[in-house]
């Protein structure tokens, strides 16, 4: 099981004062040295946390380890293709949302821009992930679009109000993982995963990587980033 550590909220903390601390680059160095498999950064349209300069600095030391989350816009595609990061995850993005609000809608209206984005990214040698709901129709659409990876959205799972709802969503993610493997897609999961809910997702057969941010950064405030990272690695690798 691979772990992608999302460092957006290191940058959130820096942005509230507009200075240079804490440094996402330093955080990335620590995470990679301690066994994070790659670094996730979401360059949002409003630049509320990660900035282009963060990604450019990280690219100088670990270009291939950058998993760039971004919306499907020309500005972002141009930036990613010039950065030549290892992989990109295409996500929906809405103004004023606190965090990504769910998976991409792979409907008729969105298919053309997503198809074009995937082509441009592939031409630049970048692997493409689509953040989607664990729905068979979305998985099949992702395959038709020639995505390399699907990241299954665990928002519904992590926000489940009771055990019955949590189990039902876990089963949906398990079934989606089976289908994704049949379709020969790499499978990731993420959104709202934390130290309490991650183990059941890490146990899913065929699940290959988990992308986790807020929980790790929140724990690092009290326990330090190295310990927060190691605690998470221990939980997901034991499965
Ligand atoms: N995966 C995707 C596609 C996301 O948009 C996010 C949030 O930026 C995450 C994973 C990480 O979510 P969290 O911060 O809740 O761990």
The Å distance, Cα 216 to ligand 1 centre, comes to 11
pLDDT beyond 90 at 50: yes
Strands 209-212 and 38-42: unpaired
This prediction's pTM? 0.96
Between 87-91, 98-102, 207-211, the lowest mean confidence (pLDDT) is in 98-102
Average pLDDT of the residues of the chain: 96
Joined together, the tokens standing for residue 101 give: 């609000």
Checking if the pLDDT of 168 tops 60, the result is yes
Residue 239's pLDDT band, with cuts at 50, 70 and 90, is: low
Q: What's the pLDDT score for residue 108? A: 84
- Mutational test site, ligand 1, from 191, 197, 210, 217, max ligand atoms within 8 Å of CB: 191
Rounded CA-CA distance 105/91 in Å is 9
Domain count of the chain? 1
**Residue by residue, what is the 3-state secondary structure of 156-222?**
HHHCCCCHHHHHHHHHHHHHHHHHHHHCCCEEEEECCCCCCCHHHHHCCCCCCEEEECHHHHHHHHH
Residue 95: the pLDDT is 83
pLDDT of residue 238: 66
How would residue 2 be classed by pLDDT, with cut points 50, 70 and 90? very high
Whether ligand 1 lies within 6 angstroms of the CB of 101 is answered as: no
Of 19-23, 98-102, 117-121, 126-130, give the lowest mean pLDDT range. 98-102
pLDDT of 107 reads 85
Mean pLDDT, residues 55-65: 98
Q: How confident is the model at residue 73 (pLDDT cuts 50, 70, 90)?
A: very high
Task: Count other Cβ atoms within 10 Å, centred on residue 114.
Answer: 20
Flag whether pLDDT at 75 surpasses 80: yes
CATH number for the domain that contains residue 67 = 3.20.20.70
Q: Cα of 192 to ligand 1 centre, how many Å?
A: 7
- Mean pLDDT, residues 89-111 taken together: 88
**Mutate-to-test residue for ligand 1 from 50, 100, 207, highest number of ligand atoms within 8 A of CB:** 100
> What's the domain range around 181?
2-236
Q: Using only C-alpha atoms, what is the Rg of the chain? A: 17
Per cent of the chain over pLDDT 90 is 93
In whole angstroms, what is the distance from residue 74 CA to residue 234 CA? 39
Phi-psi region of 133 (alpha: psi -120 to 50; beta: other; left: phi over 0): beta
> Which ranges of the chain would DSSP assign to H, the alpha helix?
8-15, 24-33, 52-62, 74-83, 108-123, 136-144, 155-158, 163-182, 198-202, 214-223, 225-237
CA 135 / ligand 1 centre spacing (Å): 18
């Amino acid at each position: 099981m691979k772990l992608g550590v999302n460092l957006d909220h290191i940058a959130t903390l820096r942005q509230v004062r507009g200075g240079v601390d804490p440094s996402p680059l330093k955080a990335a160095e620590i995470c990679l040295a301690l066994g994070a498999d790659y670094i996730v950064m979401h360059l949002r349209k409003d630049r509320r946390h990660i900035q282009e300069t963060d990604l450019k600095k990280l690219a100088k030391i670990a270009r291939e380890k950058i998993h760039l989350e971004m919306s499907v816009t020309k500005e972002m595609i141009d930036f990613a293709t010039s950065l030549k990061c290892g992989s990109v995850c295409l996500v929906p993005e809405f103004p004023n949302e606190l965090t990504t609000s769910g998976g991409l809608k792979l409907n008729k209206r969105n298919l053309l821009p997503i198809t074009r984005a995937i082509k441009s990214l592939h031409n630049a040698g970048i692997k493409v992930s689509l953040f989607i709901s664990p729905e068979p129709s979305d998985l099949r659409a992702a395959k038709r679009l020639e995505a390399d990876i699907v990241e299954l959205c665990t928002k519904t799972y992590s926000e489940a109000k009771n055990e019955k709802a949590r189990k039902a969503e876990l089963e949906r993610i398990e079934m989606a993982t089976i289908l994704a493997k049949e379709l020969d897609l790499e499978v990731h999961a993420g959104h709202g995963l934390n130290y309490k809910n991650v183990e059941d997702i890490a146990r899913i057969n065929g699940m290959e990587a988990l992308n986790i941010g807020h929980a790790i950064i929140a724990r690092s405030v009290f326990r330090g980033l190295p310990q927060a990272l190691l605690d998470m690695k221990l939980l997901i690798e034991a499965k």
